[in-house]
Structure 1
Amino acid sequence: MHRVTTVSELNPNPIQGEEDDAQYQKFSEKSIYPDMDAEQIALQRTKTRATILTTLSERVNPETDDIEKHISKSPDDEPQNEEGLPTKDDGLEFQGVDPELVTWSGPDDPENPRNWSSLRKWNSCAVAAWYTLLGPFASTMLSPAVSYISEDFHNENSVLQSLMVSIFLLAWALFSPLIAPLSEMYGRRPVMNISVWFLLCFNIGCALAQNTAQMCVFRLLAGVGACAPISIGAGVIGDLFDNNDRGKAMSIYSLGPTMGPSISSLIAGFIVSNVSWRWCFWVLVIFNGVIGIYGGVCLEETYAPQLLKNKAKKLRKLTGNENLHCIYEVATGETIAGKFEANLTRPILMLLTHPMVFGLGTFMAIAYGCLYILITTFPENWGGRYGFSSGIVGLMYVTMIIGYGVGIVVTQFTADHIYYKLTEKNGGVPKPEYRMPYLFFAALCTSGGLFWYGWGAEKHMHWLFPAVGCVIFSFGLVPVFFCIQNYLIDMSPRFAASAIAAASIFRSFFGFSFPLFAPIMFRAIGYGWGSSIFAFLMIATGIPFPMFVAFYGEKLRIWANARTEKQQAKRDKKNFARLQRQQKKQADTAASNYNAKLKNEHMNSASGQTTSTASA
């Protein structure tokens, strides 16, 4: 095969000057394939692509034993993105096969998000964290204002009052699976940026709503806008950081789902007591706009396949060679409909059939549902039972913020310390199960906090007593997100997005449904037994199964992942078969054109010789 300097060595920044123009011309079609005509070039390209597709297709039909052997290796040996092609380093191995393949210049290419500078990584991590904070922040912004809104809208139905708050989370459960394929097709950055402005538009709608129906519809649509950061924010963290460095980033990212609802409720409490409930939404719109502008300027694309597609597109423009391509443009056989179908069904299947996703997802879902129970019961408890004003009721959310703040610091240090120590004892080989030990403590804290808060309110003890219970619960909630999300990413990097989406759908349904019936239940059986029921659920789901996962879960994880991998291997085999059929047609056409050209040349040559003989 004709060997030239690969296009991956190019710097796809805008060129300046004649020297740069000359440099890029080296990668034109004629420079890569000198002494070849169009038919020969087409034939060579089809052979090259057939070699790549054959190599990849042979890797997607392993036996079950081979799958389990592969899964038992370090997670860093697996594909790190949702495209999941069976090639390491985004096709770098095929540089010597295909001179027109655009990939990284090497394993240490600084343009690969995993190799970015710390400042550049943390910048994108910070934007993802702010974006993710925005959705939960918006979800409870009207919680302290529900009574004022209901009074204006003449709504006395307690379920509808709770629905105005929780319907925001229903959108996350229903629409989150649609976001992942969009981020695969267009990248993280545009999807997240557009979603923030979509959220802003319907937050404006909430501020202008005139009745309960309008408020519920606008809240649902605003929740759709908040889906993207919740669904793919953890994917941004996975794009940037490996197992060893992900802990701190995930702890910062976890601030959004946990601290966001409390901060917004704190602010809204003072707004409704001093201005108007509509200003809760106008403040939210301002905050939304500031974050949208900040993210639009500072957020970079972090999804490696999309970065390579962008690089290939830019190089095609700079070099004039329209056949430059990355591995994800020539070897991804999944159709658009197939991507949506897979991303809609795989999270549900993993939730129903993967024991790790179901077991840990159940604990996270109950914990998240309890968080929204606390938030929605604050106005009735502190305002009704303790007689606090709206502003002071809002101030009580500080208890949860304190718990989160301390929890982030302690969790990040302690959980990572345990993880590194266990990895060191295992000869430096990390395992996802090393994320679990600290989760036992989380179950004890969250359940203990609920007991403390519920019985303190039930017995009408000094307000500091139930307030401390809120601090303890919030402290324990942080490792629930930290440990479980890290485990789901480590468990199967290729299907991390689906596993997190499954857990997100599950917890969103619980966050939506718990506030609808919890206030009624609390009024019927009291705060003490109402909180105790959820505390017992936390213990039942947060200790036995995580303990089993920590000590005996490796075999179960490998078995469950092998089944998922085998199902995906069948899909990949089908997709590669489709690509190979298409490639065979192109190869046959190229070969036919080349043979026709040779035949014409032979006939012309023979005709010329006949004419020469006749003249002589």
Structure 2
Amino acid sequence: MTTSSSVTSASPSEDDKTVHDPAGDSTSMAHHEAYPTREASDHEKTMLAAYEGHDADIPSNEGYILDEAGELKRQQSMASRKRHSVSSHGQSPKQDVEKGITTISSQERADSNIVWWDGPDDPNNPINWSSWLKTSNIILVSAICFVTPLASSMFAPGVPQLMAEFHSTNTELAAFVVSVYILGFAFGPMVLAPLSEIYGRLPVYHVSNVLFVCFNIGCALSTSLNMLIGFRFLAGIFGSTALTNGGGTITDIVSQEKRGRAMSFFVIGPLIGPIVGPIAGGYLSQAKGWRWVFWLLTILGGTFTILCLVFMRETYAVIILERKTKRLQKETGNMDLRSKLDAGLSPKDYFLRSIVRPGKLLIKSPIVLFSSVYIGIIYGYLYLLFTTFTPVFEDRYGFSSGSVGLTYLGLGVGSMSGLALFAVLSDRLLRSKTEAANAKAEAEGKPTPGMMPEYRLPPMIYFSWLIPAGLFIYGWTAQYRVHWIVPIISTALIGIGNLAVFMCIQLYLVDAFTIYAASALAANTIIRSIMGAVLPLAGQKMYNVLGLGWGNSLMAFIALACTPAPWVLTIWGERLRKRFEIKGL
């Protein structure tokens, strides 16, 4: 049977070339000229995989990179599939010589059985979608990525109302009912990320969006603190989907040279959502009560869920080509066909990579452990401050529950300023450090080192000290009731430092762990989210014993002790990476 679909040569590590019909009978595939494309470099594949939220040995839209163990596993999987195909559908053409089919080499057969796009303008390739379809998908993903982080802190100003309604004075529960949502962010990606790689992004988006809405309805109707905490945790798990898959959706449909603007639009939601949330939540809980915070989240989430069901499309090329392969297998009867992006992974492989690898990296790599604990402390401080703004500004400065939400603007302005500074300085410092190191190596007659992961760390060196400085100022000015603008300005300093630390560590881990970058980031996310959920539980007791001044000073001293971290990684990072080299995870 002749088909109109392109079947090109090459594994993901080879160039595409023209494929001719080797068999020459009516049952074989007709040849099509493969369009010339530049094969993505290993660095491009690594970066794309990190954007998509998985390691580079899991297929992305540009292919995959396998270590020796991974390649052996892929070959074994393909051999197993071929044996199953032969046993299920009779002899392969190579074995069926008596029926007049020409025997061909294994390489020719492998080339002719690779399924790829129908040329550079294939409309089924998400990168070729119309502008309105791309834009609508980006807007919807970005909107969900605004709503779900919004839910993390929007409820904070209404906590005193909640505690009064349920007749509780437990300060740990008051903090945990806010931070437990972040705990869901730690565990959600471990299950939802591999599901999106097995079944596609679209089904996971739809199911998660619906469940996010359902669990927020559960929060609004809760009749006890335990019930509310349980529903908040579940809402956090399914609210993490857009944050986990959103970057991948954008890389699926936007070419590399245009990706920066789309990604900037995407990251605004997670950045400003936790800041805008308390402002809206403060006035809403004051006017309508704390339950209306969850009703508003339900309305927003429900609206975007319906829009996603109508307008969103599957963007993951691995799944699209897999469906195309199955269709061609059915049409041609050739069960040896396989997608170019098929790495031979089973569902078990996807889950093991998602769940086991981050834990292995935490154990085997001091860099991952060290950076994860550091950013976990900073993240925990952020949510500890979220849970204390309400009592501090209501009790000490007389703010209403509505206006207390405005105090979160300090962190918001600081975070946005930190992002702007990072965008301006990061690549510039990276280039200057690389050029200086290469020039020095050339002058000494040594090989040029090129771009080193440690060159990502200078912004962290420059701005990390703002975190302890902001904590000192915030604690003592609030202790002595200095004008309210001063502690709010101090939180802006914390926001700048927090953003610099976060971005530097994220990029450093991607560059340092290449093929395993997503697992390194996942390990970082797990520790960060757990500490973000747990540290606020100790906040009120600490302030009760030490007061705002010494309580925040204690936090500042710990943050100050962490500020040499970028220096340590800059000096010894390369040595640590070589000594504790990660292979065959």
What's the TM-score once normalised by structure 2's chain length? 0.76
Larger Rg: 1
Hey, what's the Cα distance between the residues in 2 that align with 1:421 and 1:243? 23
CA deviations on 1:158-183 (whole Å, 9 max, x unpaired) are 22222211221222223431122212
Query: Where do residues 417-496 of structure 1 align in structure 2 (5 Å cutoff)?
Result: 417-425=428-436, 426=438, 429-496=450-517
What's 1:393 paired with?
A: 404
Q: Contact 1:368–1:511 at 8 Å: present in 2 too?
A: yes
Deviations 1:37-57 (A, max 9, x none): 8xxx89xxxxxxxxxxxxxxx
Q: Deviations over 1:445-482 (max 9, x none)?
A: 22222222111101210111101011111222222332
For the residue of structure 2 that corresponds to 1:7, the secondary structure is coil
Counterpart of 1:352? Answer: 363
- More helix by percentage: 1
CA contact (8 A) 2:60 2:341 kept: no
Conservation of the 8 A alpha-carbon contact between 1:6 and 1:101: no
Letter in 1 for 2:472: F
* Structure-2 residue corresponding to 1:148: 161
- Structure 1 residues 552, 234: CA separation in 2 closer, same or farther (over 3 Å shift)? farther
Provide the rounded CA distance (Å) in 2 between the counterparts of 1:551 and 1:247.
31
The one of 518, 529, 540 aligned to 2:539: 518
Distance in 1 between the 2:526 and 2:454 partners?
Answer: 23
The code of the aligned residue for 2:399 comes to F
Q: State whether structure 2 residue 63 is matched by structure 1 residue 90.
A: yes
Cα offset, 1:486, TM superposition:
2.3
> Offset at 1:269?
0.4
Q: Which residue of 2 aligns with 1:366?
A: 377
Q: Which residue of 2 aligns with 1:290?
A: 303
Correspondence 1:215-234 to 2 at 5 A: 215-234=228-247
AA of the residue aligned to 2:487: P
Answer whether contact 1:103 1:327 (CA < 8 A) is retained: yes
Which deviates more from structure 2 when the two are superposed, residues 190-199 or residues 320-329?
320-329
Match of 1:272 in 2: 285
Given that residues 9 and 105 in structure 1 are in contact (C-alpha distance below 8 angstroms), is that contact kept between their aligned partners in structure 2?
A: no
Higher relative contact order (CA 8 A, sep 6+): 1
Structure 1 length as normaliser, TM-score?
A: 0.73
Q: Deviation of residue 360 (structure 1)?
A: 1.8
From the superposition, tell whether residues 450 and 124 of structure 1 become closer, same or farther in structure 2 (CA, over 3 Å): farther
Task: Give the CA deviation at 1:187.
Answer: 2.3
Aligned identity (percent) is 35
| Match of residue 89 from structure 2 | none
Partner of 1:376: 387
Q: Secondary structure at the match of 2:57?
A: coil
Distance between the aligned counterparts of 2:579 and 2:258, measured in 1?
27
Aligned length: 508
Q: Is the 8 A contact 2:464 2:500 kept in 1?
A: no
Equivalent position of 2:71 in the other structure: none
Hey, what's the Cα distance between the residues in 2 that align with 1:327 and 1:526? 62
- Residue 492 of structure 1 aligns to a residue in which SS? helix
CA contact under 8 A between 1:83 and 1:184: conserved in structure 2?
no
In 1, are the aligned partners of 2:284 and 2:292 still within 8 Å (CA)?
A: yes
Aligned residue in 1 for 2:33: none
Q: What displacement does 1:237 show?
A: 5.8
Q: Following TM superposition, by how much is the alpha carbon of 1:497 offset from its aligned partner in structure 2, in angstroms?
A: 2.1
- Residue type of the alignment partner of 1:545: A
The answer to whether the Cα contact below 8 Å between 1:195 and 1:226 also exists between their aligned partners in 2 is yes
Matches within 5 A, 1:53-452: 75-76=43-44, 81=49, 82=55, 84=57, 89-90=62-63, 97-104=110-117, 126-236=139-249, 252-296=265-309, 299-313=312-326, 315-316=328-329, 323-329=336-342, 331-332=343-344, 334-425=345-436, 426=438, 429-452=450-473
The 1-side partners of 2:354 and 2:218 are apart by 30
Q: Choose from 493, 498, 522 the match for 1:501.
A: 522
The structural deviation recorded for 1:287 is 1.8
Amino acid in structure 2 at the alignment position of 1:35 = D
Conserved 8 A contact 2:467-2:559: yes
Gaps of 5+ in 1: 11-26, 43-72, 569-616
**1: CA distance, partners of 2:8 / 2:556:** 58
Confirm or deny: 8 A CA contact 1:6 1:95 kept in the other structure: no
State the alpha-carbon separation in 1 of the partners of residues 108 and 532 from structure 2.
48
1:289-316 CA distance string (max 9 Å, x none): 2333444455554444224323434555
How has the CA–CA distance of structure 1 residues 325 and 83 changed in structure 2, closer, same or farther, with 3 Å as cutoff?
farther
